[in-house]
Amino acid sequence: ETGVTQTPRHLVMGMTNKKSLKCEQHLGHNAMYWYKQSAKKPLELMFVYNFKEQTENNSVPSRFSPECPNSSHLFLHLHTLQPEDSALYLCASSQDTESGREGYTFGSGTRLTVV
Amino acid sequence: SQKIEQNSEALNIQEGKTATLTCNYTNYSPAYLQWYRQDPGRGPVFLLLIRENEKEKRKERLKVTFDTTLKQSLFHITASQPADSATYLCAVSRGGYNKLIFGAGTRLAVHP
């Protein structure tokens, strides 16, 4: 257990479904991130939240909608996804809000399959 | 834009040898360069960070070097063990609110 908990671990959803991914950290970190990892590809940054405020939206389609109700919780709401959205979705956090100045703590990810 | 290049072919080595993994970046010199380990189906685990004004960093059996002239970082694991088998990711950032950009990783297999 890294201190960053993601649920569910696995999710299969149809293209017309709506689902949410949840991320929780009790490390007292100030920044939280959503990354997408597709097979054989680098991690792609999706969203960044610093002190609960969104500071980065990396041109992510609107079918992905993040929510950060407090500094410990981060959600990714999913609707009308496409099969190419199937991937491992990783949540991470860091104490420092300056990018890269300290290592990120990642959760174990949600393996999403869109059918 | 910045691209991170890591060898896509797996590195196979014998237990007890030193594993050396390479990370090359194509554009600006990053303020920070990080290495992570990732096991199948798990999230990456942070290992080491090196800053642009540092040449080398060590932690137990791990050593990272940073050569801004070659635009390259090398990651070494000495006295490698089968438990070191995993995918190793390199990541760079300019700092500030810029993105932490990852490479696709290199898979290391340490054989008994």
Q: pLDDT tens digit string along B60-83?
A: 999 999 999 999 999 999 999 999
pLDDT value at A80 more than 80: yes
Q: Which residue type is seen at B26?
A: T
Residues from chain B that touch A99, judged by Cβ atoms under 8 A, are: 32, 93-100
| Cβ atoms of B72 and B5 closer than 8 Å | no
Nearest C-alpha of chain A: how many angstroms from B97?
Answer: 6
Using a pLDDT cut of 70, give the percent of chain A over it.
99
pLDDT value at B54 more than 90: yes
Rounded Cα distance, B9 and B93, in Å: 25
Question: Which residues of B, range 55-74, sit inside 8 Å of A by Cβ?
Answer: none
Q: pLDDT tens digit string along A61-79?
A: 999 999 999 989 999 999 9
Q: pLDDT tens digit string along A29-46?
A: 999 999 999 988 999 999
Please answer yes or no on whether B46 and A103 come within 8 Å at the CB atom. Answer: yes
Rounded Cα distance, A92 and A6, in Å: 10
Please answer yes or no on whether B44 and A58 come within 8 Å at the CB atom. Answer: no
Residue of chain A with shortest Cα separation from B99: A99
The mean pLDDT of chain A is 93
Rounded Cα distance, A45 and A55, in Å: 12
One-character DSSP codes across A62-110? TTEEEEEEETTEEEEEEES--GGG-EEEEEEEES--STTSSPPEE---E
In terms of Cβ atoms closer than 10 Å to its own Cβ (0-12, 13-18, 19+), residue B60 is exposed
Nearest C-alpha of chain A: how many angstroms from B13?
Answer: 21
Please answer yes or no on whether B46 and A105 come within 8 Å at the CB atom. Answer: yes
